[in-house]
Amino acid sequence: MRILVVEDDKLILQSIRNSLENYYSIDTVSDGEEGLYMAQQNIYDTIVLDIMLPYLNGDKILKTIREKGINTPVLFVSAKDSLEDKIKGFKLGADDYIVKPFYVEELKIRIEALLRRSGSLISENVLKCRELELNTKSRELYIKGEKVNLQAKLFDLLEYLINNKGAILTKEQIFDRVWGFESDTTISIVEVYIHKLRKTLAQYNYDRYIKTIRGVGYMLKLEEDNRCLKN
């Protein structure tokens, strides 16, 4: 899972990164304009968002992404501790609110709660699509009971497709989610890995579910039914 942290205090930012990076993929930014740009990519499972930021405050970022229909869970982090400030944050669309200073253990627990609530945190770490089972903890793929070896990026790609079944994912979204903004490779790598994934799944006739949306991106679409579950 991927988390965006928008925080301008360097010490707090580093502390959050240190506490979370063993559990999630973390992207961090320290100003509001860049934070809004990153949040609008719609590739994150949760956003940890400071309110008082340079150039653009957290309230504006949250309001903007909600108006664009981006429903990523947002955890507000702020030194503002009045009831009025909290009510304002929740009315804007925040999913949780934590006041500075805070314990990083509490932050981790709150993030886990948001992920469970949104369905991103899987209790048994298994994604299922028909006879395909993807264990996100052991990072193992089984199809019809047979173990299928996948390279790390192919595993991440398949996981992202399953988690967004029925939704069109642009090449840019896939690239940013699987390879990250700081990757030295180019977006053409997405086509290469989609081809590799289809080739791997073809022997089980599962390649047909990965649809190409011409000029846009890709979609995992189960035509006959919708048996794609989180356990």
Least confident among 6-10, 56-60, 101-105: 101-105
* Distance of alpha carbon 123 from the chain centroid: 17
Confidence of residue 225 (pLDDT cuts 50, 70, 90): very low
Q: What is the pTM of this model?
A: 0.71
Q: How far apart are CA 85 and CA 55, in angstroms?
A: 20
Where are the chain's structural domains?
2-118, 126-230
Which residue from 153, 152, 174, 171 is spatially nearest to 163, judged by alpha carbons?
Answer: 174
Which residue from 57, 17, 12, 16 is spatially nearest to 36, judged by alpha carbons?
Answer: 57
Pairing of the two strands 140-143 and 146-148: antiparallel
2-118: CATH topology is Rossmann fold (3.40.50)
pLDDT digits (tens, 9 = 90+) for 65-98: 999 999 899 999 999 889 999 999 999 999 999 9
Q: How far apart are CA 32 and CA 37, in angstroms?
A: 9
Q: Would you state the CATH architecture of domain 126-230?
A: Orthogonal Bundle (1.10)
